[in-house]
Amino acid sequence: MKILQSFFTILCLSAVMFISACGDDDDNGGTTTDPLVGVYTLSNVTLQEEVTYLGTTYPAGTDLTVLVQTALYAESPCDNGPNTVIDMRENFEVFYACKNETTTPVNFGGWSVTSDRSILTLNLVIAGNNFPLVISNLMENTDNIQGTIENYPLVDSTVTPPEIQTVEVTIEFQRTEL
């Protein structure tokens, strides 16, 4: 009887050890890094509708990349504007960072993505106002993020307070390194 009891005890201990050893502990503490986390440069902005901005009329299909990059560079803390990158972090914060510089990154909002991964929202501060920049029709891969923004803000800072005019654009961000 003692042999049977010892066998049963060993069997139970083995089962406990097996169950505890097979826990799901190799998933970084129950969290995974979202594939959107990373550093990006603005690579393309194309206007989807005609707009008059600062006295100039731009037809649909106009490449606004340089115009938007110029505005982005003006807001960034970088010593050299073209070094500006957008750093989307694991804690769902968005920072301006500076590639090849020692400048301290600056937080300028947060981000979220829908569970079906079709919409990325960047909750930013633009011209002193909280502004949700919604990127729909989201397409993402290891190299870039692209989609449509129906409310892209064109800021007229020549007036006080600055005025915001929204337009529809397609946008692309290219993944890069700091």
What CATH number should be reported for the domain holding residue 105? Answer: 2.40.128
Nearest to 132 by CA among 123, 140, 141: 123
Residue 19: per-residue pLDDT: 34
Residue 149 lies in a domain: yes
Does residue 153 lie in a domain region? yes
Q: Is residue 18 part of a domain?
A: no
* Per-residue confidence (pLDDT) for residue 108, from 0 to 100: 87
Q: Which H or E run contains 13?
A: helix 2-21
Domain assignment of residue 21, yes or no = no
The pLDDT assigned to 57 comes to 95
**Which pLDDT score, from 0 to 100, does residue 157 have?**
82
Residue 32 domain-assigned (yes or no): no
User: What pTM, to 2 d.p., does this model score?
Assistant: 0.77
Whether the Cβ atoms of residue 67 and residue 171 lie closer than 8 Å to each other: no
Q: What is the pLDDT of residue 29?
A: 60
Containing domain of residue 107, as a range? 38-176
Residue 80 lies in a domain: yes
Residue 137 token pair: 């029709």
pLDDT tens for the chain, residues 1 to 178: 443 333 333 333 333 333 334 444 445 566 789 999 999 999 999 999 999 999 999 999 999 999 999 888 888 899 999 999 999 999 999 999 999 999 999 998 999 999 999 999 999 887 777 889 999 999 999 999 999 999 998 888 888 888 889 999 999 999 999 8
**DSSP readout, 59-104?**
-TT-B-HHHHHHHHHHHS--SSGGGEEEEE-TTSEEEEEETTS-PP
Evaluate whether residue 62 is within a structural domain.
yes
Query: Residue-wise over 3-20: b if at least 16 C-beta within 10 A, else e?
Result: eeeeeeeeeeeeeeeeee
**Count of structural domains, the chain:** 1
Domain membership flag for residue 7: no
